[in-house]
Structure 1
């Protein structure tokens, strides 16, 4: 009778849905009609639930899988129940979700971590709630505030799982797992798909299923397959172009791995307090019982539980080493380099008494375990069309900071680039303005001076003003890569690939090294080894250190005696640029071969055994280690410091402690490579598009070195020392004015000077785009000839607008108050210096005024536009933006200091007077290009000067 009533209720429910659905659709907004619908709807608290059934009857015809949670799986349907013991209620466990199959683009890559969290089961009537406890706020035992925490700060109840039965003897609860693993509750795929693909996608229940389950004493491993169907946004939406990897955009499959595991407890692990002088990822919470300090935060570093087997011995193996398995998907030729990179860290652990702290093993080809199994730390390989990155995430106990699991993933594109003609991978998406595309699309911090304001405004501008959606009517900026977010442990990117390819090209052009030669293989292994070591560093808990590459002088970089003993960089956690020797110097190591001094120091802070009972008992010994921070080789600057673009030595993909000297070497190298490209490209029977790819790669390198030295102007070194660490040192120290002037002179010589770019007509006429037209290509339909003027103007505009950006002008003005007279580069000096170098033909005319070249005319117009923007207080407005450069100039010159506005006005008046003199005295000696240019400039300046200041 009960079953009859149950089925009657079900039928009535379906009838109600059929009647009300048309009305719901009629009155529901369109956006609300296309939500992410889970394949199996989770139960909702308060709904009617079926009465409990006999335990044995529910699990009839189910296979029993005993483990952390005992599972019962139906032999035919795959329907799975989990048995939760009474003592497992209100106890914390760890849930880790990994994307086990992907699309190969848009961030949907095999091996990407989706989510990890601690959870517990709480009984609420006839359901077990899957609860994520709030660990951000805590109180000490015995503190009355402990009673109020649960009411003050909510936990997150993600789903309620119906209790199907209760065991008559053990009183354990039988729950249905399908609502948990076949819905979007844990992996949050709906949010990912919406952000990365757009359109409306939802899992089709007929194509989605619970595919596999394994149980072990400490964990269970579950796997679900989601068959998604829907409609991708059309290609007309320039922010989200078509997916290129699918046979049909409207259907695809994603596989998700769920690892539910026991949290370690009473295992002797002691959390270690963090210190801002040493770069670790941290686990932070507020201790409401803490009365001392300005903010009641407790911060633990994230680290592994590493203990000596023999604590009394100066050096001992660990009780349990940190073991990495090289996945069997890693190509055979790179496995040795990956192993060497991972083991590179053992030298740092040996200095604090651990022998073989890290162990590397090879996953067998026929392994009976999955790399996403939380019991294994793996180094994995995946393939994509747009990733160009490696990633070293780790899973951490949010209560203590103990690292429990780590799985490194490496995109094959990082390595494959060299084997595909030194550049064909990126050719189709970065045709005309490759350095601009990588500027906006690279996930490395601060690459090429692109600040967050431009990225954010660019996204809005593309929505508000379609004119910005393309540069020169071509898709030269990949919109997806433009705004793809990144985490702290997502590394490298297009610029790293470009650096890697450039080094290979240099070998080919300067030493005639063939792609298949041993010399090239060694070069590739150097790169793979550094990538692997960097990512393992992340899994050890270490953050980036973008100050590491400033350890050696330029002259020391190619001295093997120095680099083999100290490395090329103080930290493998930097994005170290490829080391290219200057002309006439024998090439040394391209990439570093060992962890640096900073890395060893950071490992000492995180893993040195210290006898103490509680974390605070370690502080005395930890401070001894951290107080060594003022040593030059221990300088530390993570992502947030690099984004500030304040300290010129805190950058990605740079090298040496004197970037000005190193950059000039690279400018000379670039000119030499261009000459060789003209003579040797294309090879016999090869496409002329190879010449363009090679030319752009060198141009990219040239641009990156220009952007690297801009921060010297108005730059300041910044340190994280604590008071008393370094006598006479303050957190901010202005870059010596002589270095600022040297940087400015180098920029003028290699970017603004009339002879900065002298390309032969033969070379320019070889620069042709690829003509392939099929999926995965972005074929050029307009502007087939190479836009050399615009390429150079883009570079000049980015550098010039950076030099005259509001942030830099404010900083220069402030530095005048922070330094003694004569030791600062003043605003008037900067303005005058730029005007003299850009308008040399007008400001310092000879008896015969030189004819102004087309490249110079473009630069001069842009300089004038910048001054007008500053002088007239032009507010940034999307309505006034006609192209991407207007966007850049408008954003960077908004809200400058008043002194800068006054000086811009003064410079315009000076320039107008000079123009009037030239046009009056030498008009008959000017060619028509120059005369028209000067007359128009004079007219525009006069109108700007006479215009009223815009109201603020």
Structure 2
């Protein structure tokens, strides 16, 4: 009896105790997530409000998907580069389960074996490292699904904000986990993508000036970071091989299954998937058109200008035989910009004018563009307006120019929108296009200002259509050929037809370095001939400076701000000077293929190089350098609450007051820096060695010294300008002679020039004014070269962005800036 009573009590006790999960097993997902908010979609997740955690349900193992981070809200400083909408790098990832753990693994698509032989593929896979981004402990499972805590992974500094702040010398910061949290309004799941957003805070000491200018408490920098998990495109996309004669960004990888007789590196272009409903038809609608959506936060009239400029690309797709294949719309109120299905043009605000970007999310396996993302800086239009203000502004009795200035600025925005969207279509810069009748919006354009009578005309400042090169590039990249077509042959015909129209392609590597050699490939230049265009630009500059007066700013504006309008007028020639300097030692070339009939390489004729030298020396004459007398009595020190260190005005050696020698010093230094570039000087030496009739470095230095040291040095303003120019030439030549990286002959000729200057300057000249400082520098150079100070230069105020490009981004990404396409 007592045993029955004991059994009864035991059974009763068991019923009172809740069921426990057996040791060594996980609870079910449904039990574990009871009471949590469920978000079904591409990747189902759960929000645990009590713990502030995101639990991710993984139901597909060893299935590849795309992951990339984004900066959802930025810092607001162009110089740091942490802008709203900044894209991180794409990663192909897959989840692999090992016992109680799940790894997020990134395969190495840089090295492949495109073959059906599994063992050959495995040999490549095992030869190169993969990357494990995170390891997750399984918290629950059910059927073939597991649940993991995604929160720690989401709280990482995935966009490299700490690195960006450090590289821009804004302080040493670190992620503060106690000030990070999920941001639920932008964490959601869509049919093809799942999105997570977090608030992250970086803390540090001694923040730099850029941070102090934009962060309320600069020792605590808070922004929002976004993580995207995206379904990869379905099969059927056909990759197109890259051709260096026509510009497209894209992917490249090693294919170890390639026969030894063929190149092992494979290169393919990036482009959207676009197919004709009828590939045989001359004109056909697209199966699925490319649609771009504009940020509805963009104000008018800018909104309309951006939509019109973006829509220009439909002209190019029409040329490729598509009907309405490219469209632009305002993002609907019920659409979410995070949805991968929306190509987005985003309007971004910063504390200073800055760069705009066109980037793409691509499938790293194929190069297919999944989403285009454009970032446009809102202050850019104000810089364009400022330049127009200096050229034609009159705020006295004539107010008609206000609409003219605004129209020029809006036309620039149209071109800018087309340019950035062009990057997201796969196109890089084409910097030779400006010399081919403005053939591409993918060049960096400066306004074409023309002198008409005594006035400056801006009616043709910017083009209002897509360029001819742009049409050919879209025809080549997006043409959908009928089945059975020899695609490679047809694509080659397109390139040949483009060349027959006088259109070619050269890009950043051909234009950006100061030492670059092609005389027609440059940023912000115009015209078919760099020398002729510099002469024309100098005439526009002369008229602008002759007419410069206080009416360039509205009544009631501090007179000190007149300098901000003066800066781009005084330096109006800066980029054309750089273009003309490339004629010296210049070489004209193409991206020719063997047998395609293109001219390969030729040295710029000697007569053209000497014309360039003459005009460059003329830019350093005292007549060109002199600041208009009106300005010397019209620009007072900056008033209270107007920064004396504004980057929009000239640096100065006179303290608070305007420095009449600062603008000339910036201009002279600019010209000398380009003329005496060590690599350019080396080309001048070499071309003269092969052709005695060519311009050589010795002749360049001889003409430079004659032009500068024959000028009178007296106590007048022009005399001070000549003294400053003489000093800058001596400093630059001493620096060139001491440059251990320079060609030996270059250093030798620079050394001889320094000694020649020594004989010219002497202890005194007519008028009783001494060249004593130059003599002292040369004496130091001869006796103790190590103690010669580096040239002291007042750098010119920022020029770009009158439009795009940026050094900090290049240093971070290792790529040409701004309009950089991944």
> What TM-score do you get using the length of structure 1 for normalisation?
0.74
- Relative distance call for 1:293 and 1:346 in structure 2 (3 A) is farther
| Residues 83 and 173 in structure 1, CA contact (< 8 A), matched pair in contact too | yes
Q: 1:606, CA displacement in angstroms?
A: 0.6
Aligned to 1:259: 228
How far apart, CA to CA, are the structure 2 residues paired with 1:201 and 1:277?
45
Match of 1:175 among 129, 148, 171: 148
Counterpart pick for 2:364 among 379, 383, 398: 398
Equivalent position of 2:212 in the other structure: 243
* Cα distance between partner residues in 2 of 1:203 and 1:51: 35
1:577 equivalent in structure 2 = 446
Q: 8 Å contact 1:244–1:776 — kept in the other structure?
A: no
The number of equivalent residue pairs is 752
- Among 601, 606, 612, the alignment partner of 1:737 is 606
- Contact 1:198–1:232 at 8 Å: present in 2 too? yes
1:369 correspondence with 2:335 = yes
Alignment of 1:116-265 (within 5 A): 116-139=90-113, 140-142=115-117, 144-167=119-142, 170-184=143-157, 186-196=158-168, 197-205=170-178, 207-212=180-185, 213-226=187-200, 228=201, 230-235=203-208, 241-265=210-234
Whether 1:927 aligns to 2:767 is yes
Task: Confirm or deny: 8 A CA contact 2:42 2:231 kept in the other structure.
Answer: yes
Query: 1: distance between equivalents of 2:217 and 2:741?
Result: 48
The corresponding residue for 2:270 is: 302
For the 8 Å contact 1:692–1:768, the answer to whether it is kept is no
Residue 130 of structure 1, CA deviation: 1.0
Distance 2:31 2:517 in 1: 69
Q: CA RMSD in A?
A: 3.2
Distance 1:632 1:122 in 2: 54
Aligned-pair CA distance for 1:912: 4.6
* 8 Å Cα contact 2:560/2:638 also seen in 1: yes
1:765 alignment partner in structure 2: 633
* Alignment CA distance shift 1:776-1:175 (3 Å): farther
Shift of 1:269: 1.1
Distance 1:754 1:75 in 2: 72
Shift of 1:744: 1.2
Which among 485, 489, 495 is matched to residue 620 of structure 1? 489
Q: Match of 1:64?
A: 38
Q: Deviations over 1:363-392 (max 9, x none)?
A: 23xx23321221211111111113512111
Q: Please give the secondary structure, in 2, of the residue aligned with 1:174.
A: strand
- Matched with 2:431 is 546
Bigger mean CA deviation after superposition, 517-526 or 659-668: 517-526
- CA separation of 1:82/1:760 partners in 2, compared to 1, >3 Å: closer, same or farther? closer
Cα distance in structure 2, aligned partners of 1:857 and 1:896: 27
Instruction: Please name the residue that 1:700 is paired with.
Output: 571
SS at match of 1:392: strand
Deviations 1:101-154 (A, max 9, x none): 122112222111133221110112211111111101111221633122232111
Aligned position for 2:671 = 799
Alignment correspondent of 2:69: 97
Find 2:284's aligned residue among 312, 316, 331.
316
SS state of the match for residue 788, structure 1?
A: coil
> What SS does the corresponding residue of 1:712 show, helix, strand or coil?
coil
- The 5 A counterparts of 1:471-510 are 497=383, 501-509=386-394
Cα contact 2:293–2:342 (8 A) shared by 1 = yes
Does the 8 Å contact 1:611/1:618 carry over to 2?
no
Cα distance in structure 2, aligned partners of 1:587 and 1:386: 26
Alignment equivalent of 1:711, drawn from 568, 573, 582: 582
Partner of residue 478, structure 1: none
The structure with the largest helix share of the pair is: 1
Deviates further, 69-78 or 586-595: 69-78
In structure 1, the gaps of 5 or more residues are 1-48, 418-496, 553-568, 875-892
> C-alpha deviations, 1:269-301, integer Å up to 9, x for none?
111111111111111111001124574111110
1:660 is aligned to 2:531 = yes
> What residue is the counterpart of 2:662 in the other structure?
790
Contact 1:660/1:743, CA 8 A, preserved across alignment: yes
For 2:743, the equivalent position in structure 1 comes to 897
Map Cα deviations across residues 524-567 of structure 1 (whole Å, 9 max, x no partner). Answer: 22111101100110110000111111113xxxxxxxxxxxxxxx
CA offset at residue 73 of structure 1?
2.9
Please tell me whether the aligned partners of residues 306 and 318 of structure 1 are also in contact (alpha carbons under 8 angstroms): yes
Q: 1:905 to 1:181 in 2, by over 3 A?
A: closer
CA distance in 2, matches of 1:172, 1:234: 46
Equivalent position of 2:56 in the other structure:
82
**Separation of aligned partners in 1, 2:504 and 2:395:** 35
Classify 1:674/1:80 alpha carbon distance in 2 versus 1 (closer, same or farther; 3 Å). Answer: same
Q: Residue in 1 aligned with 2:511?
A: 642
Match of 1:601 among 459, 472, 494: 472
How far apart are residue 713 of structure 1 and its match?
1.3
Q: Which residue of 1 aligns with 2:13?
A: none
**How far apart in 2 are the matches of 1:579 and 1:310?**
42
Q: How far does residue 188 in structure 1 lie from its aligned partner after superposition?
A: 3.8
CA offset at residue 702 of structure 1?
Answer: 3.2
Contact 1:90–1:122 (CA under 8 A) maintained in structure 2: yes
> What is residue 720 of structure 2 aligned with on the other side?
854
Aligned 8 A contact 1:121 1:129 in 2: yes
**Offset of 1:851 from its aligned partner?**
11
1:527-566 aligned within 5 A: 527-552=412-437
* 1:332 alignment partner, SS class: coil
CA contact (8 A) 1:316 1:353 kept: yes
Residue by residue over 1:642-691, the C-alpha shift from the partner in whole angstroms, topping out at 9 and shown as x without a partner, is: 12421121111111112222222222222222232235355543211122
> Cα deviations across residues 691-719 of structure 1 (Å, max 9, x unaligned)?
21122121221333323321111111121
Contact 2:241 2:268 in 1 (8 A): yes
**Distance of 2:277 and 2:603 partners within structure 1:** 49
The change in CA–CA distance for 1:722 and 1:513 in structure 2 (over 3 A counts) is farther
Cα deviation for residue 946 of structure 1 reads 7.9
Q: TM-score, normalised by structure 2?
A: 0.85
Aligned pair in 2 of structure 1 residues 372, 243: CA closer, same or farther (>3 Å)?
A: farther
The answer to whether the 8 Å contact 2:94/2:106 transfers is: yes
